[in-house]
Amino acid sequence: MHLFLLVAGCLFPLISWLTLLLSYIVARGGRSSSGIYIPFVGPALLSIWLVRVDAPHWTLPLPWIADIGTVFFLVWLPRLAREIWQTSRFTRLYKLTGSDGNESVVISFHRGGNYLLQKHWYRPAGEPGMIAIGEPGTFSSQQGIVSLCSHTGRQRYLVPEGAVHAVTDAGESDELQLQGWRLLKTTG
């Protein structure tokens, strides 16, 4: 059991460090890649191993500090929590909803000028294709026209027409295109 804890505990930090190194090498070549970082598992197993082999207490923090996956996760955790909070149901002001054929969209507007667009496709069982996509961004309103700017820079304008908002989409024609959609405002 001790050997299993040691080997398994070392495996996860090793994977994290190797993919960090490989990502760095690939980036130097002008391409991009993503590393595989599995936080907490390796350090937890190594901590159990250290306790079982009666290692000195000062060694217990070492696996946690040496695991780059855990360190990266803890560094990014505040930003991740902030982004989740910005578009949570607790900050939501209102929503716009609409559908067209087998597609539906919900745009939720939040305090602080943030929005989240979620688009869904309803496909028959076995039909290939995208089923959902999301887009976060910021919004502002001037003279009743709501301007949306995604975090990738895409611009949309929502013009109120009675009970609905007509969408003008300045983005390219892709899966997030909403040109001509009419969205109904709802609360909650």
User: What are the C-alpha distances in Å from 133 to residues 21, 110, 122?
Assistant: 31, 19, 12
Domain assignments of the chain as residue spans, ordered by start: 2-86, 92-186
62 three-state secondary structure = helix
pLDDT < 50 positions in the chain: none
State residue 188's pLDDT score: 60
159 three-state secondary structure = strand
Q: Is the dihedral of CA 34, 35, 41, 44 positive or negative?
A: negative
Query: Among residues of the chain, what percentage have pLDDT more than 90?
Result: 67
CB 99 within 8 A of CB 182: no
156 vs 69: CA distance, rounded Å: 37
Q: Name which of 92, 69, 97 is nearest 13 in CA terms.
A: 69
CB 86 within 8 A of CB 78: no
Runs of H (alpha helix) within the chain: 2-28, 41-52, 62-66, 68-86
Cα dihedral angle (40, 44, 46, 51), rounded to 10 degrees? 160
Task: State which amino acid sits at residue 153.
Answer: G
| 114, β-bridge pairs | 110, 138
Domain made up of 92-186: CATH architecture: Beta Barrel (2.40)
